[in-house]
Structure 1
Amino acid sequence: MKRSLLSVALLVALSGCSLMPEYQRPETPTAAGWPEGEAYVGSANAAQEQQMELDWQSFFRDPALRELIRVALENNRDLRAAALNVDAYRALYRIQRADLLPLVSGDVDGSRTRTPEDVNQTGDSDINSQYSATLGVAWELDLFGRLDSLREQALQQYFATEAAQRSTRISLIASVANAWLTLQADQALLQVSRDTLNAYEESLSLTQRSFDVGVASALELSQARSAVDTARVGIERYTRQVAQDRNALTLLLGRGSPLNLPAAADNRLESDLLATVPVGLPSDLLYMRPDIIQAEYQLRAANANIGAARAAFFPRISLTGAVGTASSELSGLFDGGSSYWNFSPSISVPIFNAGQLRANLDYAEISRNIQVAQYEQAIQTAFREVADGLAAQATYVRQLQAQRDLVEASEDYYRLAERRYRTGVDSYLTLLDAQRQLFEVQQQYLNDRLAQMISEVELFKALGGGWDTNAEAIPGSG
C-alpha cells in the first residue's frame, strides 16, 4: 500500500511537463513609423510620441450622436451576440480546466434479490440484500501536458472572443457615427435640391412671362422647364436616401421605436462635430487594436494545440480508486469491518493508429502557420488603414478649402450671369450653365465634407477606437 502511495506521489510530481512550443511573437511586417510625404501633415514620425485617453464620448462632440451611440451599445443585436459568444467560450474554458482535476463522485447503492426455490441450489427460496456507500476518484495524470495544452488553448480562445467583442463594439460605434453623418449630409443635399428647385421655378416663371411678351425664345423656355424637372428628380432621389438612411440607423440602434432625431440644420455639417485625432502616434499602438489582439490570441491558441498534439504520442495514465462500506443489511452499512477499497491504475500506449497522430500534429502545425499569416495580415491591414486615414486627414482639409472657394466663385458666377441675362447681355444658356454649376459644386462640397468626416471616424476606428493607458496589454507584448 505504501509503495502504491509513493508511486502515485511520484507520478503527480512528474505531472505538469509540457510539450507546448514556447510562444514567440512574429516580427512586425510593417515599417516602424507612419508614412511621410506630400499627402501627410508634416512628419508623423517626428512628432512627439504620446499616450492618451480618447474614448468615443470625447471624440464625438455632438450630443445627439452620443445619445444614438449609447442606445446602439445597449440594444444592437450583433453586439449582444458577441457578448454571448464570450460567455460561451468562458464556459468552454471552465469545462477544459476541469479535466485537470480529479473527478470525485459519491454513490449509494442498494439491491434486494429474491431467488425462487427451483433455481436455487439449496432448493429453498431466499432473499439476498446488498447495500453500499462509495466515494470514487478518477484522475488522468497529465504527465506530458496534453490536458494543460488543451486548457491553454481554450483560455486563449476565450481571450480572443473578448477581443472580438471589443472589435465589434468599436465597429458598431463607427457604423452608427457614419450612418448618422450620412443622414445629415443627405438631409443637407435634400435642402440644397429644394432651394435649387425654388430658384429654377422662379427662373421658369420669369422666362414664361418673357416668352409671353415675345422676349424669350421657345428654346429658352424649354431649357428652363428641363432645369426644373432635373431639380425635381434630385429631390426625389435625396428624399429616398434620407428614408433609407433612417432605416439603416434604426437597424444599428437595435430598436423598433421611431428615432427622435433633431431636424437637419444648414450648417450642421460645418459645426465642430468631431475631435481632432492626433497624428503623432507610434505605430506600436496598432497592438492595441482589438482585431490584432484577437489575431494574436488565436495564434497563441494554435500554438497551445501543438502541445496537445505532441502529447498524444505518449502514454495516458489514469488513476481510478474507490473507498466505501458495504453490508447485506442496511442497518449494518457503517458497522465495523464493513469498509472496502480498490485502486485501479491504467495506462494506454498508442501502438498503431494508421498515422492519425502524425496527421493531427501536422494539422496543428499548419494551423499555427496559418494563424501566423493571418496575424501578420491583420497588422499590415491595420497599418494601411491608419496610413490612409492620415493621408485623408491632411488632404481633405486642403480639398475642402478649395471646394469652398469654388462654391463662392460659382455663386458669384450665377449672380453675374443672372444680371447679364436680365439685361439682355447674355443668353439664357449662360444663366442655365451657371445654375447647374452652382448646384453641382454645392452637392460636391457636401459630399466632400461627408467623406472628410467619415475618414476621421475611420481613422479613430483604425487606431483602436481610442486609447486607454490603463488598458490590459497582451501577455508577453512588453
Structure 2
Amino acid sequence: MNTLISLVSVSAAAVLLLAACGGPAAFERPAMDIPDGTARSSPVGKNWWFVFHDGALNRLEEKAVEHNRDLVRASALVDRAAAMADEAGASLMPQAGFQAEGKRQELSEGERYMNNLPDRARDLWGMSGVLSYEVDLWGRLRALTEEARADLLASSAARDAVYLRLTAEVASAYISVRTWEEKCLIIRHVHASYEQTCSMYEKRFVQGQYPELALRRVQAERAKTLAQLKLAENELSRAESALAVLVGDSPRQIMAGRRLTGGREDLLASPPSIPAGIPGDMIERRPDICELEARLKAAFYGKEAARADRLPSLVLTGRLGQVSSRLEDLLSRPSRNYDMGAGILQTLFDGGRKRAAVRAASAECTAVQAAYEQAVLNAFREIRDALVERRKSAEAYEASRDEVTCLRRSWDIASKQYEAGYLGLMDALDTHRNLLSGELDMADAAQMRLNAIVKFCKALGGGWQRGPDSA
C-alpha cells in the first residue's frame, strides 16, 4: 500500500509541475465598428409572440416548439455536442484501468537455464492497475477542450436559430391564415349581395321590366366573385396545410385540415404597438451571430491545438500489480511488482501532415471570421430594413384604410343614386367592384403590417422586452 501511495504522490507532483509549462492563447472577438451601446450578452428572446395577445397563436407556437421535427433534431445535436465536450474534457484527467491476464509462455533454452526452470513452457498469471497521464505541456489538450466547448455553444445557438426561425414562420403562417379567412369573408359577403341582386333581376327580366343586357352583366359579376371566392378558399387551404406542417401535425391531421378557434378577431386591424426607441444591445440576441462567434472560437482553438500537436508530448505511466507462475500464489506478497516512468514522443517525419493541419486550421479560422463579420453586417441591415418596413407598412395600411372609407361612402351614394335612376348600372357595378378590390388590398396591407412586426422581432433576435416571458 505504501508503494501505491508513493507512486500516486510522485505522479501527482510531476503533473502539477509540468502542467504549468504552457497553455493555449486566449480567444479575442474580432474588433468591428458597431454602434455605441451594443452589448454582447443578451440571450435569444423566448415567447416573443406574446406581443400579439392571441390565444390561438400562443397554442400553435407552443405546439410547434414541442413537436416540430427540425427543432427536435437541433436539440439532439446539442445533446451530442455536450457529450463530445465531456469527452474532450476527460482527456485532461488521469486515466486509470485494470488489467488481468493468464497465458502459457514458452521459453528458449537459454532462458530456461538462466531462470533454472525444469521445463521450457510455463504458466504466467497476472493482474495490475494501470495509471497514465498525458502532461499538457503546450496546451494542446486544453485547446481541444475549449474547441469542444465552443462547438457546444455553437450547437446551442444553432438550436436557438431554429427556434427563432420556426416561431417566426409559425407566426407568419398564422397571419396568412387569418388574412385569407378575412378575404374569404369579404368576397363571400359581396357574392351574397350579387346573389340577391341577380335574383331580383331574373324575376324582373321574366316580367319584362329589365333588359337582358343588365341581367347578364350582374350575372357576370356574380360569377366573377364566385371564382375569386374559390381561389381564395384554395389559398386558405394551402395556408392551413403549411401551418399544420410547421406545428408538427401528423399526416392524418394534415389531410383532415384544421380550423383555428380562439384567436383575436381584430388581429388584422389592431396590431401590437412597438416602442420607438430600440436598445442597441438587442443585436446580441441574434442566435446566428452567437453561433458564428462560437464557431470562430472553436476554429481558433482548433488552430492552437494543431500548432501544439507539432511539439513533443510527455506521458507519465505507473503500474502496480501481481505476477505469478502459479494461480494460487498470485495474491502473495512476493509476486507483487510495480513500475513507473515517463515517455516523450516527438514526430520526426510525417510527410508534412501536421504542418498541413496547421495551415488548414488557420484557413478555417480566417473563413469563419469572415462569415462572422458578414453576419454582423447582415444583422444590422436586416434591423434597419425591418424598422423601415414596420413604418412604411403602417403608413400603407393607413392609406389603404382611408381609401376603403372613401370607397364605402362612394358605394353608399352610388347605390342610392342607382335606385333613384340617376346612375347607370355599369357605374354602380364599377363602384362596387372598386370597393371589393379596396377591401382586399386593405387585408393585404394589414397582413404586411403584421408580418413587418414578425420580421422586426426576428431581426432583433426575438422581440425587445426583457420581462418574465422574455429570456
Classify the TM-score, shorter chain.
Answer: 0.7 to 0.9
Which of 267, 287, 291 is the equivalent residue of 1:290? 287
Q: TM-score, normalising length from structure 2?
A: 0.85
Counterpart Cα distance in 2 of 1:433 and 1:294: 56
Distance change >3 Å, CA 213–CA 427, structure 1 → 2: farther
In the TM superposition, residue 16 of structure 1 has moved relative to its aligned partner by 5.0
Deviations 1:353-377 (A, max 9, x none): 3332222212111111111111112
In the TM superposition, residue 472 of structure 1 has moved relative to its aligned partner by 13
Q: What are the within-5 Å matches in structure 2 for residues 359-370 of structure 1? A: 359-370=356-367
Distance change >3 Å, CA 444–CA 57, structure 1 → 2: closer
In the TM superposition, residue 98 of structure 1 has moved relative to its aligned partner by 1.3
In the TM superposition, residue 224 of structure 1 has moved relative to its aligned partner by 2.1
Counterpart Cα distance in 1 of 2:349 and 2:249: 58
Matched pairs, number: 451
Distance change >3 Å, CA 175–CA 443, structure 1 → 2: same
**Counterpart position of 1:429:** 426
Deviations 1:205-245 (A, max 9, x none): 34445555666554443332221121111111121122222
Counterpart Cα distance in 1 of 2:432 and 2:37: 47
Deviations 1:236-275 (A, max 9, x none): 1121122222222221221334646217886453345x4x
Which of 392, 396, 404 is the equivalent residue of 2:389? 392
Look up the equivalent residue of 2:429 and give its one-letter code. Answer: L
In the TM superposition, residue 449 of structure 1 has moved relative to its aligned partner by 0.5
Would you say the 8 A contact 1:170–1:465 is kept in 2? yes
SS in structure 1 at match of 2:322: strand
Which of 397, 400, 406 is the equivalent residue of 1:403? 400
**Residue 27, structure 1, aligned to residue 31, structure 2:** yes
**Residue 90, structure 1, aligned to residue 87, structure 2:** no
Distance change >3 Å, CA 244–CA 16, structure 1 → 2: farther
Which piece of structure 1 moves more, 325-334 or 150-159? 325-334
**Counterpart position of 1:449:** 446
In the TM superposition, residue 12 of structure 1 has moved relative to its aligned partner by 4.8
Counterpart Cα distance in 2 of 1:267 and 1:254: 27
Counterpart Cα distance in 1 of 2:68 and 2:119: 73
Between Structure 1 and Structure 2, which shows a larger proportion of helix residues?
Answer: 2
Distance change >3 Å, CA 353–CA 369, structure 1 → 2: same
Which of 368, 372, 377 is the equivalent residue of 1:371? 368
Q: What are the within-5 Å matches in structure 2 for residues 164-243 of structure 1? A: 164-209=158-203, 211-212=205-206, 216-243=210-237
SS in structure 1 at match of 2:123: strand
**Residue 252, structure 1, aligned to residue 250, structure 2:** no
Which of 364, 377, 380 is the equivalent residue of 1:380? 377
SS in structure 2 at match of 1:248: helix
In the TM superposition, residue 295 of structure 1 has moved relative to its aligned partner by 1.4
In the TM superposition, residue 22 of structure 1 has moved relative to its aligned partner by 3.1
Q: What are the within-5 Å matches in structure 2 for residues 248-327 of structure 1? A: 248-256=242-250, 257=253, 259=258, 261-262=260-261, 267-271=266-270, 274=272, 276-327=273-324
Would you say the 8 A contact 2:46–2:470 is kept in 1? no
Distance change >3 Å, CA 136–CA 55, structure 1 → 2: same
Q: TM-score, normalising length from structure 1?
A: 0.84
Distance change >3 Å, CA 23–CA 416, structure 1 → 2: same
SS in structure 2 at match of 1:189: helix
Counterpart Cα distance in 2 of 1:220 and 1:226: 10
In the TM superposition, residue 177 of structure 1 has moved relative to its aligned partner by 1.7
Counterpart Cα distance in 2 of 1:248 and 1:13: 62
Look up the equivalent residue of 2:152 and give its one-letter code. Answer: Y
Distance change >3 Å, CA 4–CA 203, structure 1 → 2: closer
**Residue 68, structure 1, aligned to residue 60, structure 2:** yes
Which piece of structure 1 moves more, 443-452 or 311-320? 311-320
Look up the equivalent residue of 1:24 and give its one-letter code. Answer: E
Which of 138, 141, 145 is the equivalent residue of 1:144? 138
**Counterpart position of 2:413:** 416
Look up the equivalent residue of 1:136 and give its one-letter code. Answer: V
Percent identical among aligned pairs is 27
Would you say the 8 A contact 1:29–1:376 is kept in 2? no
Which piece of structure 1 moves more, 438-447 or 163-172? 163-172
Counterpart Cα distance in 2 of 1:199 and 1:125: 114
In the TM superposition, residue 200 of structure 1 has moved relative to its aligned partner by 2.2
Would you say the 8 A contact 1:279–1:390 is kept in 2? no
Distance change >3 Å, CA 54–CA 300, structure 1 → 2: closer
Deviations 1:53-74 (A, max 9, x none): 9843642311222122122222
Counterpart Cα distance in 2 of 1:164 and 1:362: 27
Look up the equivalent residue of 2:346 and give its one-letter code. Answer: V
Distance change >3 Å, CA 320–CA 5, structure 1 → 2: same
Would you say the 8 A contact 1:410–1:438 is kept in 2? yes
Would you say the 8 A contact 1:18–1:149 is kept in 2? no
Distance change >3 Å, CA 212–CA 267, structure 1 → 2: farther
Counterpart Cα distance in 2 of 1:98 and 1:128: 40
Counterpart Cα distance in 2 of 1:74 and 1:54: 14
**Counterpart position of 1:77:** 69
Counterpart Cα distance in 2 of 1:62 and 1:3: 68
Q: Gaps (5+ residues) in structure 2?
A: none
**Residue 458, structure 1, aligned to residue 451, structure 2:** no
Counterpart Cα distance in 2 of 1:291 and 1:177: 20
Which of 333, 347, 352 is the equivalent residue of 1:350? 347
**Residue 340, structure 1, aligned to residue 344, structure 2:** no
SS in structure 2 at match of 1:137: strand
Counterpart Cα distance in 2 of 1:340 and 1:279: 78
Distance change >3 Å, CA 457–CA 166, structure 1 → 2: same
Distance change >3 Å, CA 102–CA 77, structure 1 → 2: same
In the TM superposition, residue 149 of structure 1 has moved relative to its aligned partner by 0.8
